[in-house]
Amino acid sequence: CKTSSCAASLTDGLLLESEYRSEKSLEELGKLVPPECHCVREGNLEHLLARELVPGDTVCLSVGERVPADLRLFESTDLSVDESSLTGETTPCSKYTYHQLPSTNGDMASRSNIAFMGTLVRCGKAKGIVIGTGENSEFGEVFKMMQAEEVRSPAGHLDVHLKINDNKLYHFTVYPNSKIYFSFSDPCNYHAPKTPLQKSMDLLGKQLSLYSFGIIGVIMLVGWLQGKRILDMFTIGVSLAVAAIPEGLPIVVTVTLALGVMRMVQKRAIVKKLPIVETLGCCNVICSDKTGTLTKNEMTVTQLFTSDGLHAEVTGVGYNGAGEVLLDGEVVHGFSCPSVSKVVEVGCVCNDSVIRNHALLGRPTEGALIALAMKMGLESLQQEYVRLEEHPFTSEQKWMAVRCVHRTLQDKPGVYFMKGAYEQVIRLCSSYNSRGSTLSLNHQQRELYQQQISYMGSAGLRVLAFASGAEMGNLTFLGLVGIIDPPRSGVKEAVGTLISSGVAIKMITGDSQETAVSIASRLGLYSKGCQCLSGDEVDRLDLQQLSNIIAVFYRASPRHKLKIVKSLQNIGAVVAMTGDGVNDAVALKAADIGVAMGQTGTDVCKEAADMILVDDDFQTIM
């Protein structure tokens, strides 16, 4: 008895300790996104908490701020918003103020006059009127989907739990005979689906009870037939029943799981519920979001091609100087290779973004160019030039140009630096740079550049062209760079290890097919001839038709992600879902184990998940 009391006390202590650590860690993670905003009320600019906003308020947005509510924009200056946490699209969306036709207002990505709550302002500034807060925003729609999540019971009937505004949990039970029963209960009485361990423990308990009572019944019957008193046999039967109950098993299981939670904490992973540790070990399918999970959601230059035919590879990921520029295996630094340096110089000077403490203020593509300059030790060039004139980037012209003069040569007329889409930049070029010399641009060179663009495009890269010169329309073409949001370091190795261990990996993203296939190919999830499905194709298929072989899904909305997870669970798979955005929250909730990113993950995502990776390290799942 004393031993059992000590074990129970130890178990309670471990549970309290792990829960306390988890809660404290979650509090710290919640501080990463301060819910504040700038609001105009009665003609005065006020600093308010986002929860104090009401429809009709006017909110001011600027670079680096998160949108505090759904806003209808009425004033916008070069506004670009990162909606990756909501849609999965890595490229920031340009926002405008003009009215949209109802026919083009259905798809979230097409609503260019709306700024959605929780998205990040990458460039420009704007003002908008609050049209949706809380559950009435697009974020709120995700919450509603989570609250209306379907839970299938092992008996074959369908349990639907729906929480309404009166805080009661309404319960609909649909049986195979098409009868529907309705009831309601308090939310605290709702029980989540059982984990594989809980199901195994339930089965073990039933089997032990069945076998024990069967054997005890036989023993009592034999004793009674031998003429022994029925009271004595009943006493023996009760003693055997008590002895057959493994009262120490729950304690041993709980202590073991608690130790597992503590080990996960050492690996920088927060586990909210003890049984989840065992569920992670039983998992045989992992569905993962791409943007911010398999990748870092930080655009990075990976390839550079100069106008005279030099091809350089760029290492490193993210908005920092970690990495190198390699030309034929040799490191290029500073002005050691003028052809490469000229491209980097234009990308650094013709740039409105800033990187501070590994955080970007501005456009992701411009951040990638600054990071490239940092890798070559040329980031100081941005401060060495004085800007005399600027042609800002617009979605119509698809290029940006500045006229600058070096601080030591301010009596000179200045030089134009230009970057943008190749088709637009090359129209304003009459020559190209070849090892320091300026040669006339001919058809052969244009064909060479077009081939290189096709090559980069097939690899899923976003291509930017660069030029410079004394006057617009008579510029010198300098080269191309390829930009992509590449996989995180260590993810490819982790994916390979999981696949070799028999775990299937599915990549589900809201990004385009080209980008999804490119990243999946780099990770070993996709090879030539494999099939991938779009969100629209997922809509047209039922749960049974969604093939278990398909590994890549693109243009997927929260609804599509939920359907994919359900289809895998429908064939008996134990499914883990990893993600960081609001668009992943519903699938995280529905999966057998939801895994959220701690640093880049949204609050909604962390709330829905069962486990949080503090360092955003995908390898922790192994």
Which helix (H) or strand (E) segment is 161 a member of?
A: strand 158-163
Please, is 506 exposed, middle or buried when counting C-beta atoms within 10 Å of its C-beta (0-12, 13-18, 19+)?
buried
In the residue annotation, 107 being an active-site residue is answered as no
pLDDT digit string (tens) for 197-224? 777 878 888 888 888 888 888 888 888 8
- Considering the chain, what percentage of its residues have pLDDT values greater than 90? 29
C-alpha 285/C-alpha 293 separation (Å) is: 16
User: What's the CA angle centered on 68, arms 64 and 70, to 5 degrees?
Assistant: 115
Asked if pLDDT for residue 615 goes beyond 50, the answer is yes
Tokens 């693109």 correspond to 554
Per domain, the residue ranges of the chain are 1-29+155-181, 33-144, 196-245, 270-295+487-621, 300-484
3-state secondary structure 431-486: EEEECCEEEECCHHHHHHHHHHHHHHHHCCCEEEEEEEECCCCCEEEEEEEEEECC
- Could you give the 3-state DSSP secondary structure of residue 337? coil
| Cβ contact 485:295 at 8 Å | yes
pLDDT digit string (tens) for 453-501? 999 988 888 899 999 999 998 999 999 999 998 888 889 999 999 999 8
What per-residue confidence (pLDDT) applies to 177? 37
Of 51, 517, 69, 346, give the one whose Cα is nearest residue 59.
69
Looking at domain 33-144, its CATH class is mainly beta
What per-residue confidence (pLDDT) applies to 539? 85
Asked if pLDDT for residue 439 goes beyond 90, the answer is yes
Range 300-484 classified under CATH 3.20.20.70: no
Please, is 24 exposed, middle or buried when counting C-beta atoms within 10 Å of its C-beta (0-12, 13-18, 19+)?
exposed
Query: Of 146 and 398, which is predicted with more confidence?
Result: 398
What per-residue confidence (pLDDT) applies to 168? 40
Distances (CA, A) of 571 to 1, 280, 545, 548, 563: 45, 18, 11, 9, 13
| Cβ contact 379:333 at 8 Å | no
Cβ-Cβ contacts under 8 Å for 498 (sequence gap 6 or more): 286, 505, 621, 622
What per-residue confidence (pLDDT) applies to 155? 37
What tokens appear for 314 in the block?
């760029």
Query: Of 505 and 99, which is predicted with more confidence?
Result: 505
DSSP label at 420? E
Of 346-350, 443-447, 516-520, the least confident: 516-520
Catalytic residue among 70, 289, 511, 584: 289
Mean pLDDT, range 136-145, rounded to an integer: 77
C-alpha 343/C-alpha 419 separation (Å) is: 10
pLDDT digit string (tens) for 499-521? 998 999 999 988 888 888 889 99
Q: How confident is the model at residue 348 (pLDDT cuts 50, 70, 90)?
A: very high
What per-residue confidence (pLDDT) applies to 182? 36
Of 53-57, 357-361, 411-415, 520-524, the least confident: 357-361
What per-residue confidence (pLDDT) applies to 420? 94
What per-residue confidence (pLDDT) applies to 19? 56
Asked if pLDDT for residue 323 goes beyond 50, the answer is yes
Q: How far is CA 616 from the centre of its chain?
A: 10
What per-residue confidence (pLDDT) applies to 85? 73
**Backbone torsion region of residue 124, taken as left when φ is above 0, otherwise alpha when ψ lies between -120 and 50, otherwise beta:** left
Asked if pLDDT for residue 91 goes beyond 60, the answer is yes
What per-residue confidence (pLDDT) applies to 489? 83
Asked if pLDDT for residue 369 goes beyond 90, the answer is yes
**Mean pLDDT (the chain, rounded):** 81
What per-residue confidence (pLDDT) applies to 185? 39
Asked if pLDDT for residue 148 goes beyond 70, the answer is no
pLDDT digit string (tens) for 521-555? 989 888 877 888 988 888 888 777 676 678 899 88
What per-residue confidence (pLDDT) applies to 60? 93
What per-residue confidence (pLDDT) applies to 190? 41
Greatest alpha-carbon span in the chain? 121
pLDDT digit string (tens) for 269-318? 888 888 888 888 888 899 999 888 898 888 999 999 999 999 999 999 88
- Could you give the 3-state DSSP secondary structure of residue 390? strand
Strand-pairing partners, residue 239, are none
- DSSP per-residue codes, 63-100: TTPBP-SEEEEEEEEEEEEE-HHHH---SPEE---S--
Query: Of 501 and 118, which is predicted with more confidence?
Result: 501
Asked if pLDDT for residue 355 goes beyond 50, the answer is yes
| Cβ contact 54:133 at 8 Å | yes
What per-residue confidence (pLDDT) applies to 483? 94
Please, is 440 exposed, middle or buried when counting C-beta atoms within 10 Å of its C-beta (0-12, 13-18, 19+)?
exposed
- DSSP per-residue codes, 401-415: EEEEEEGGGTTS--E
Mean pLDDT, range 136-144, rounded to an integer: 77
Asked if pLDDT for residue 192 goes beyond 70, the answer is no
Which helix (H) or strand (E) segment is 548 a member of?
A: none
User: What's the CA angle centered on 299, arms 515 and 33, to 5 degrees?
Assistant: 110
Q: How confident is the model at residue 374 (pLDDT cuts 50, 70, 90)?
A: very high
What per-residue confidence (pLDDT) applies to 29? 45
What tokens appear for 132 in the block?
């949706």
Range 270-295+487-621 classified under CATH 3.20.190.10: no
Mean pLDDT, range 75-79, rounded to an integer: 86
Q: How far is CA 197 from the centre of its chain?
A: 28
**What does R_g of the chain's alpha carbons equal in angstroms?**
30
Q: How confident is the model at residue 372 (pLDDT cuts 50, 70, 90)?
A: very high
